[in-house]
Chains A and B, each alone.
Chain A
Amino acid sequence: DGGITQSPKYLFRKEGQNVTLSCEQNLNHDAMYWYRQDPGQGLRLIYYSQIVNDFQKGDIAEGYSVSREKKESFPLTVTSAQKNPTAFYLCASRDALWGSNTEAFFGQGTRLTVV
């Protein structure tokens, strides 16, 4: 089945540790996105990538890092510099033909808890 997969669904980490969230898509989409969702704050953009080997900071990139070495993968690392990492993280992708604004498809999300 085509889709976008995030793993794991739940993740627990100790404070001060880096953690990497996985996002894989087999939709052949060029663009991929990472959002953070906190109660009452909607979806805030962390990083996005329009093409392999290129990515841009979103609105809340501090304390996060990404890579885009393959078209189908866009892992997000939550570093120890992120002050409040506990949140629900959503990955999305879309078909990004130049000049088109297509719909975004979301993964199931990863709920990260840092203790």
Chain B
Amino acid sequence: GQQVMQIPQYQHVQEGEDFTTYCNSSTTLSNIQWYKQRPGGHPVFLIQLVKSGEVKKQKRLTFQFGEAKKNSSLHITATQTTDVGTYFCAGYSAGGTSYGKLTFGQGTILTVHP
């Protein structure tokens, strides 16, 4: 079945440094979604990428979807303490018996030292 792998598992940065997390799927994805979970909270949707090679930006966050639609990345420029949390990628199964199945990566836990 579909597997979504995410690296690194942990990332510690100094405030102001950049951060990147990578997501790889064992199968071609119809789209990729990114979520953020603050410590003690629940995952909250950030963005969805649909097109091959798509790049989207949200302020200091840049999201990319690979040309083959099997990988994605999230890059944060000049991290702030408010960026602390766990970042997850997630992909849908597009068809067959697993239609609608939403699989999450293991997540990257980001800590930011002021």
Contact = CB atoms under 8 A, between A and B. Distances in A.
B101 A56 contact: yes
Interface string B28-42: 001101010000011
A43 B42 contact: no
Contact of B48 (A40, A92, A101, A108): A101
Contacts, number: 61
A101 B33 CA distance: 9
Interface string B1-19: 1000010010000000000
12 contacts: A35-B104, A40-B9, A42-B104, A44-B104, A90-B43, A92-B102, A96-B100, A103-B33, A104-B43, A104-B90, A108-B41, A108-B42
Interface of B: 1, 6, 9, 30-31, 33, 35, 41-45, 48, 50, 88, 90, 92, 97-107
Given A56-B97, A103-B33, 20 more contacts: A33-B102, A42-B6, A42-B88, A42-B104, A42-B106, A44-B104, A45-B103, A48-B101, A50-B99, A50-B100, A56-B101, A58-B101, A101-B48, A103-B45, A103-B48, A104-B33, A104-B43, A105-B45, A106-B43, A106-B44
Interface of A: 31, 33, 35, 40-45, 48, 50, 56, 58-59, 90, 92, 94, 96, 101, 103-109
